Amino acid sequence: MGLLARIALAHLRGRVRQSLVSVLGVATGVGFFIAVAALMEGSQRDFIATLVDAIPHITIRDEFRNPAPQPIRAANPDAAVQLDGLKPKDELRGIRNARARLAALDSISGLVAAPSLRGQVVLRYGGKDMGVSLIGIEPARERRVSQLEADLVQGRLEDLHTAANAIIVGTVLAEKLGARVGDTLLASSAAGIRLRVKVVGLFRTGVMGVDRGQAYALLKKVQVLQERPNVINEIRVKVGDVYQAAVIARDLEARLGYRAESWDEANEGFLDALRIRNIILYSVVGAILLVASFGIFNIISTVTYEKARDIAILKALGFAERDIRWIFTAEGLVVGAIGAALGWGLGYLLCRVLSQVEITLQSETRTLPLYEAPAFYALALGFALASAGFAAYLPARRAARLNPVDIVRGAQ
């Protein structure tokens, strides 16, 4: 071991109790950092997985991100043009050439697509009305792009073919209406069409908005109900890598012209909320390490004060300022490193304990979602060493600048 390191360790051994408190402070910070990071990342991944399962990865709709430019503006891009009395063109809604576009999407490797017609209807049962988004699907294609079949808690996707006007609703919606499988609801669309529909299945995605506000029926039936024969207003796409959905969506939008929205764009608000939650929680855990670094600052400051004579003689003997800085910064780093090592153990134990905790959500009992990654351990170590090093560097710099003559005179 080098001379400077031996001096640094000797100083720490001289203040065992204070050093131990500082080490425990760092260990606590590192341990909770690891546990909270695992919990946050686990819950975030769990949430995203639930979300991604519940909705299409990309939804192509019969709308445009930007309105088409007026021809006169397109012809005179540099001119100042004022248009009065403009009325929007009464466009026929729906994706044009939908079947051809669907075939084109199917030909792209890694993508599968399914057509649908989405429209608002009111479902009435037992005097209760609930507005829902009714999605017309083709079951054979639907199972390729969504988890609907896996989310069914009652009934099967094929059951949509068994009844004349079959519908699958979310468990929350069914509960609010008081309806069960086999019951017949009255569906009314904005077009004024009414149909009696029979509940043939219930699904639960875990996303409240979906389970309460969506229902599925055969595409043909929804086209009748919406009075839009042969119209498709959505193409839902599934991709191989959900985290590439935004990039693929931009590409599809450029190819097709229609707005293509990825799952993360559609849930930007949720994801922003997750980011804010992460910032808050990391700040709280970071504060623990900050407090621990105050402890390190305190101990190193005390040691530099107590060891002023040692500093003076070391400088008189020919130690450079950087040697003195090194000694005291190393003391902080040693405290940080030992604390981080203990914190790793504490973090691992906390993760084991948390992984045993069971929670009940929507009558489903499960363990807390944890995601443990070596990166969290590395991050905690880096943060602990950086804060410990910085906390020690400040008094170390002051110690290095001490004038040995002042100390020697004071001592004598």
Instruction: Enumerate binding residues for other proteins (CB under 8 A).
Output: 3, 7, 10-11, 13-14, 309-310, 312-323, 403-405, 408-409, 411-412
- SS3 state of residue 66: coil
Neighbouring-strand partners of residue 132: 121
Nearer to other proteins, 112 or 313 (CB): 313
- SS3 state of residue 68: coil
CB of 21 to other proteins, least distance (A): 20
Q: Please tell me what DSSP assigns to residue 94.
A: S
Q: Output the DSSP codes for 351-384.
A: HHHHHH-EEEETTEEEEPP----HHHHHHHHHHH
CB of 400 to other proteins, least distance (A): 10
Nearer to other proteins, 106 or 406 (CB): 406
CB of 406 to other proteins, least distance (A): 10
The residue among 75, 93, 73, 91 whose CA lies nearest residue 83 is 73
Nearer to other proteins, 7 or 166 (CB): 7
Buried-state track 366-391, b at ≥16 Cβ within 10 A, e below 16: eebbbbbeeebbebbbebbbebbbeb
Residues sharing a CB contact under 8 Å with residue 187, sequence separation 6 or more, in sequence order: 121, 122, 123, 124, 134, 165, 167, 194, 195, 196, 197, 225
CB of 332 to other proteins, least distance (A): 18
CB of 326 to other proteins, least distance (A): 12
Nearer to other proteins, 11 or 101 (CB): 11
Q: Please tell me what DSSP assigns to residue 157.
A: G
Nearer to other proteins, 68 or 411 (CB): 411
Buried-state track 202-216, b at ≥16 Cβ within 10 A, e below 16: bbbbbbeebbbbbbb
Cα(199)–Cα(350) distance, rounded to whole angstroms?
46
Nearer to other proteins, 175 or 321 (CB): 321
Q: How many residues does the chain have?
A: 412
Nearer to other proteins, 193 or 405 (CB): 405
CB of 410 to other proteins, least distance (A): 11
Residues sharing a CB contact under 8 Å with residue 108, sequence separation 6 or more, in sequence order: none
* DSSP-derived pairing of the beta strands 194-203 and 166-170: parallel
CB of 391 to other proteins, least distance (A): 23
CB of 344 to other proteins, least distance (A): 29
Nearer to other proteins, 11 or 141 (CB): 11
Cα(205)–Cα(71) distance, rounded to whole angstroms?
46
Q: Please tell me what DSSP assigns to residue 240.
A: S
CB of 334 to other proteins, least distance (A): 15
CB of 313 to other proteins, least distance (A): 4
Q: Which residue has the tokens 């090194």?
A: 326
Nearer to other proteins, 16 or 86 (CB): 16
213 in Cβ contact with 161 (< 8 Å):
no
Nearer to other proteins, 125 or 319 (CB): 319
